[in-house]
């Protein structure tokens, strides 16, 4: 039997067309999920960063609040805050044992010389109040009276209009920024702290000492004032935030953050946050005075 070559050619062509149509149909029915993924690769997570802070116990609770707010927005950042006193804070920054040193006083010229290269950023202002045990009847003292009490030449409350009772003086220990600021702004260079003062390592311990010791007196950061101690006016001016802000209250000092060299990267971002509107709102919420 002879096969017609013309019909054979037509048949072969028809088979090829049908096969092509079937292949196209199968490709069209392939689910989109099975197609190669053309999306861009996911962004890599932010690098983990740790920032260390050390120094003033006055600045410490404020630094902790800054830390909580900043790390909530930047979960890749961990911030460790330690106390130790202002002198410790300056030294920690100057020797690079902490990323940020904290000081509740001006940095001394001798420290700027010893730790050449440190940078100082004032993030808040703080008043220093004269506080007494609630049983003390005296409501106001002059600067001269305060100098005499803490210098040890006035030793009885009756000498300043109070009851006949020995004055118990409490003070921060050496190295405290609060003490350094108090001595500089109130006692001056000619008056030394009485040797009979009860020395305490922190603002919190000063508050506890005064609140539990009859006839006692001390100085305390505005940020630590509460109902357990009595505040005493200075030269007729009450230790309030309003009076500190308007310049009528005389004992106000800066709260400083100190770095070695100009901060960069996450460290700069953290300090910028402290000085931002959000950071300064935290300053006010914690009972300190904003600088911006």
Average pLDDT on 4-26 reads 45
Residues 157 and 204 in one domain: yes
Residues 182 and 104 in one domain: no
Residues 136 and 233 in one domain: yes
Per-residue pLDDT at 15 exceeds 60: no
Whole-number percent of the chain with pLDDT over 90: 80
Average pLDDT on 103-131 reads 97
Residues whose CB falls within 8 Å of the CB of residue 203, separated by 6 or more in sequence, listed in order: 57, 58, 172, 178, 220, 221, 223, 224
Residues 206 and 248 in one domain: yes
Kindly indicate the confidence band of residue 39, based on its pLDDT and cuts at 50, 70 and 90: low
Q: List the CATH number of the domain containing 121.
A: 3.40.190.10
Give the whole-angstrom CA distance, residue 217 versus residue 133: 7
Other C-beta atoms lying within 10 Å of the C-beta of residue 100: 27
Residue 64 domain flag: yes
Average pLDDT on 267-285 reads 98
Average pLDDT on 241-248 reads 92
Residue 202 domain flag: yes
Residue 19 domain flag: no
Per-residue pLDDT at 20 exceeds 90: no
Residues 236 and 223 in one domain: yes
Residues 176 and 196 in one domain: yes
Residues 231 and 270 in one domain: no
Give the whole-angstrom CA distance, residue 233 versus residue 141: 6
Show the domain range for 100: 50-125+254-285
Residues 91 and 181 in one domain: no
Residue 17 domain flag: no
Q: What is the pLDDT of residue 292?
A: 86
Residues 202 and 238 in one domain: yes
Q: What is the pLDDT of residue 44?
A: 59
Kindly indicate the confidence band of residue 51, based on its pLDDT and cuts at 50, 70 and 90: very high
Residue 54 domain flag: yes
Residue 8 domain flag: no
Residue 194 DSSP symbol: P
Residues 225 and 141 in one domain: yes
Average pLDDT on 278-286 reads 96
**pLDDT tens column, 165-219:** 999 999 999 999 999 999 999 999 999 999 999 999 999 999 999 999 999 999 9
Per-residue pLDDT at 238 exceeds 70: yes
Q: What is the pLDDT of residue 31?
A: 45
Residue 22 domain flag: no
Residues 71 and 177 in one domain: no
Per-residue pLDDT at 13 exceeds 70: no
Average pLDDT on 227-255 reads 96
Residue 192 DSSP symbol: P
Q: What is the pLDDT of residue 37?
A: 54
Average pLDDT, the chain: 89
Residues 215 and 230 in one domain: yes
Domain count, the chain: 2
| Element at 231 (helix H, strand E) | strand 230-234
Average pLDDT on 254-281 reads 98
Residue 151 domain flag: yes
């Amino acid at each position: 039997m002879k096969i017609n070559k013309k019909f054979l050619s037509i048949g072969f062509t028809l088979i090829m067309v049908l096969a092509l149509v079937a292949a196209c149909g199968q490709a069209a029915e392939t689910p989109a999920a099975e197609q190669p993924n053309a999306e861009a690769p996911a962004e890599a997570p932010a690098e983990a960063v740790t920032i260390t802070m050390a120094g003033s116990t006055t600045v410490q609770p404020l630094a902790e609040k800054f830390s909580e707010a900043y790390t909530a927005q930047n979960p890749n950042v961990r911030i460790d805050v330690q106390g130790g006193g202002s002198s410790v804070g300056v030294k920690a920054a100057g020797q690079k044992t902490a990323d940020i040193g904290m000081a509740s006083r001006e940095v001394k010229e001798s420290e700027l010389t010893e730790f050449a290269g440190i940078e100082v950023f004032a993030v808040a202002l703080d008043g220093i109040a004269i506080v007494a045990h609630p049983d003390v009847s005296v409501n106001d003292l002059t600067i001269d009276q305060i100098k005499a009490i803490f210098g040890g030449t006035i030793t009885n409350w009756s000498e300043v209009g109070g009851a006949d009772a020995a004055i118990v003086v409490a003070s921060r220990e050496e190295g405290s920024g609060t003490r350094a600021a108090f001595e500089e702004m109130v006692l001056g260079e000619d008056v030394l702290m009485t040797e009979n003062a009860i020395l305490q390592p922190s603002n919190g311990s000063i508050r506890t000492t005064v609140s539990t010791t009859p006839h006692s007196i001390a100085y305390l950061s505005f940020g630590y004032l509460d109902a357990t101690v009595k505040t005493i006016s200075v030269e007729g001016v009450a230790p309030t935030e309003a009076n500190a802000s308007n310049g009528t209250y005389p004992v106000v000092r800066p709260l400083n953050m100190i770095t070695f060299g100009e901060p960069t990267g996450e460290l700069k971002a953290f300090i910028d946050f402290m000085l931002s509107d959000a950071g300064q709102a935290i300053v006010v919420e914690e009972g300190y005075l904003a600088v911006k």
